[in-house]
Chain A
Amino acid sequence: MVEIVAEGRNLTKRYGDKTVVDGIHFQIKRGECFGFLGPNGAGKTSTMKMMYCLSPVSSGELYVLGLDVTTRGKEIKKRIGVVPQEDGLDTDFTVLENLLVYASYHNIPREMAERRARELLRFMRIDEKSAATVDQLSGGMKRRLALARGMINAPEMLFLDEPTTGLDPQARLLMWDNLRALKSEGMSMILTTHYMEEAEKICDRLVIMDNGKFLCEGRPQDLINEHIGHEVVEFTSDDKDKNYFIEKVKNNYDYQVIRNRFHLFIKNGQDGKKAVATIPSSDVTIRKATLEDVFLKVAGHELKE
């Protein structure tokens, strides 16, 4: 039997008369990396905060590790690790002290805490910064320290709220290495992100969320196959040619026009090169379909503010 580490049923979060999480259902399995994707304000962080018991559930049910978040928060918090969106590192202390102080909140005996802290700093590759103050760390190091902190109580599952937002590409790669290593050890992980590449690389399963609702749910590759296909043919058209192109492609291909850029979705069994050949345009390109295409298709591409 597959063990469920987190389950939401008709989970809802309201602030006043604004509904930010709108009756979602989900089940997350042990050992799985599950992603919540969506634009800012989609309700990802609110969902996470309810799961790590920092924000009360407005209605519906939510269980983490089989425990009701509303009544068993303290027990849940003992067994989970959290990496919040804002690192929340204690600038009054050094890197090592940050871990020791946090370990003390978990009632971890001092010696064990120190051993674990040094182990984690090595794993995160910030051990040479043990005595540095938090302000002396780069953004990537701070993020990895926050991850180390979330691991100090040897949790059964990790909550990662936008683990790589604001990091440069190198720092992001390092973070991904760490996350993949944890995953290979069987750590259950729940993360939010708005980087599609991140979700595609790390998540076993994900949902795309907007306005507090799930737009679609599944394995990244399945979602790509189902909503897009295997390839995307792109080309640009000006306004006067738009209708001409639409007429040309609409019978054979699913497509989406984002501003003046056509995206033809090449289903499995269709040939992208053939599509390219039928487009009388000089800037036609063909590429692999990605999760980003799914996202733009299901979440829409209008800029919302």
Chain B
Amino acid sequence: MWLDMVRFPKLGIGTYRVWYRDFFYFKKYFIGSVFWTFSEPLLYIVAFGYGLGFFVGQIEGVPYMMFLAPAIMATTAMQGAVFESTYSSFTKLRVQKTYETIMMTPVSVEDVVAGEILWGASKAFFGVLGVMFVYVVMGMVHGIQPWLTLPVLFILCWCMSAMSMVVTSFARDYDSFTYFFSLVITPMSLLAGTFFPLTHFPKWAQTAAWIMPLTHGVVVTRDLFLSHWHNALWLNLLLLFGMSVLFSNWAINQTRRRLIY
């Protein structure tokens, strides 16, 4: 049973088919998605970067704008993945019965859930690319290391998408997500070292932050974005990857219980 939780999920042609179904739908409404993808991160950058940054000045030796910018990428990754893999996936699971229909074909539950998680990650990553594009235009990207944030952020997208899928697989109705947002997502986006460095938090808050995927995503993304790579970041990456695998398997197992009975 525990082996089920730690092995890498099987990906097959069916996974790709499920992913492509969502991509196919996304393509149809591409223009509308682009607007929403850019608008929120831009808003944060303007409000906090210019507004708050003016008063804060520097944090840990860098301008507040540069401190904040990578964190915005990480929260964009998180938000995008969470929305896609809660409300959209729940609709497909419970309301439209999309998954049940897919399962009348040779596509397995594992394919369905893995495909959905990957899609949630992909859509969120699309948002990350948008933010990166804005940073390039604003002249904030220097050297090679900032570009390495992209694969890291994809893992973060995956992790958050998988975590949300776990919640979706347990959810009774749309209201269930309110708890997830107010008890998990909002605290995480505030306490994961996004807007302020973790070092000034009390010890218990730092410990709590350590179990949050976003914290590890922010730490690695920030150091890479500022071209400060160091080997201790491997641990953060490993934890992030491990959580992604764990959440993915949990989501697959729970959704299977939900669909096959």
Which residue numbers of A lie inside 8 Å of B, CB to CB? 15, 52, 54-56, 74-75, 77-78, 82, 84, 86, 88-93, 97, 101-102, 104-107, 150, 153
Contacts and interface: CB of A to CB of B under 8 A. Distances in A.
A76 to B, nearest CB: 9
A90 B96 contact: yes
A90 B101 contact: yes
Contact of A93 (B25, B97, B103): B25
B239 to A, nearest CB: 35
A54 B256 CA distance: 11
A277 B96 CA distance: 58
Q: Which of A84, A88, A91, A107: most chain B CB closer than 10 A?
A: A88
Q: Which of B17, B98, B101, B108 has the most CB of A within 10 A?
A: B101
Contacts of B20: 104
A86 B104 contact: no
B96 A105 contact: no
Contacts of B14: 105
A77 B97 contact: no
B234 interface: no
27 contacts: A15-B261, A54-B103, A54-B104, A54-B259, A56-B261, A74-B106, A74-B108, A77-B104, A77-B105, A84-B104, A86-B97, A88-B96, A88-B100, A88-B101, A90-B98, A91-B96, A92-B25, A97-B24, A102-B101, A104-B17, A105-B14, A105-B17, A105-B18, A105-B105, A105-B106, A106-B105, A107-B13
Given A104-B17, A105-B14, A54 B100 contact: yes
Nearest to A80: B104
A82 B104 contact: yes
Contacts of A55: 260-261
Interface string B71-98: 0000000000000000000000000111
A101 B104 contact: no
Contacts of B108: 74
A-B pairs with the 4 shortest C-beta distances?
A: A88-B101, A105-B105, A82-B104, A88-B97
Contact of A88 (B13, B98, B107): B98
Contacts, number: 60
Contact of A105 (B97, B107, B261): B107
Interface residues of B, number: 23
B102 A56 contact: no
B21 interface: yes
B110 to A, nearest CB: 11
A77 B259 CA distance: 16
B260 A54 contact: yes
Q: Which of A77, A86, A92, A105 has the most B CB atoms < 10 Å from its CB?
A: A105
B100 A105 contact: no
A56 B17 contact: no
A102 B13 CA distance: 14
Nearest to A98: B101
A42 B189 CA distance: 51
Contacts of B102: 105
A92 to B, nearest CB: 5
Nearest to B16: A104
Contacts of B105: 77, 102, 105-106, 153
A93 B22 CA distance: 11
B90 to A, nearest CB: 14
A104 B25 CA distance: 14
A88 to B, nearest CB: 4
Contacts of A90: 21, 96, 98, 101
Given A74-B108, A82-B104, A153-B105, 4 more contacts: A56-B260, A56-B261, A77-B104, A88-B101
A107 B16 CA distance: 11
Nearest to A78: B106
A62 B97 CA distance: 26
Contacts of B107: 105
A158 to B, nearest CB: 12
A69 B21 CA distance: 27
Contacts of B98: 88, 90
B106 A77 contact: yes
A104 B21 contact: yes
Contacts of A52: 104
Contacts of A84: 100-101, 104
B87 to A, nearest CB: 14
Given A52-B104, A78-B106, A106-B105, A101 B21 contact: yes
Contacts of A91: 96
Contacts of B100: 54, 84, 88
A106 B17 CA distance: 9
A167 B14 CA distance: 34
Nearest to B99: A88
